[in-house]
Structure 1
Amino acid sequence: MKQTLLVKHAVGGRMFIDSDKQAVPYSVVQHGEGWKFTVSIPWSGAIEELLACKNELNVFIFQEFDDQPTLKTWYYVKDGSVEYDSDQASLTIIADSRIEYYPHLYSS
C-alpha cells in the first residue's frame, strides 16, 4: 500500500505539503475526539504561509492499494491547533473530524 499526506489551504487550494513530492516523515494518531498529525519538515516560506492560514486547512491521506480502489480520508482542521516547533523542525496539526470516501463511487 502507498500512502500520501496532503496539506492544503481550504480556501485557495494551495498545496503546502505533498508527501508524494517531498519525502517528509509524518505520523497520524487518534487524539481525543480528533486526530493529531506530526510532520518532520524544515522551516520555510511555505510553512510560514501555512501557519498564516492555519484555520483554513484541509488534510488528506490517500491510501492506494494494488487490489482495491484508493481510499481518501479528508480531515477538517476547523478550530484545531496548528503549531510549528522550530527546535524539533516539527509541524503539529490537530484535526477535529474526518470523512473517508472512495472517489470512484462519486464519478459519473
Structure 2
Amino acid sequence: MATVKQLPHPRVADVPLTEVLFALSDPARLEIVRELANGPLSMAECGATNPDLPKSTKSHLMKVLREAGIVRNEPDGRQRIVSLRREELDESFPGLLEAVLGVTEGSD
C-alpha cells in the first residue's frame, strides 16, 4: 500500500514578507486561507466553494500557500489535512492575518 508522502514546510521566520503577501494576493488562494481560518480541513474540502477548479490548479494554489509558510499540508491516512499556520504567522508578521482576513470583497 502506498503511503502519502510528507511535504516540506519552511520555517515561517525564514519566509520573506513579500512571498507571504504574494501568496495572499490571489483571490483563490485568499479564499482558501479564509476557509482555513475556521479550522483545519481535508484537502478535498478546501476550495470546495469552487467545484469547477481543476485539481491541478488547486494543487498549485496549495503549493504556493505551503511554500510561503501560510498553510501546513500533512498526510492523514489516504488524505491530507490542511491547516492555517496562524500562530507562526502572527509571531513573524503581527497583525497581518487579522488585517487580510478582515478585508471582504467590495470593502474599502
TM-score of the two chains, using structure 1 as the length reference: 0.34
TM-score of the two chains, using structure 2 as the length reference: 0.34
Q: Give the number of the structure with larger relative contact order, counting CA–CA contacts within 8 Å between residues 6 or more apart.
A: 2
- The structure that is helix-richer by fraction is 2
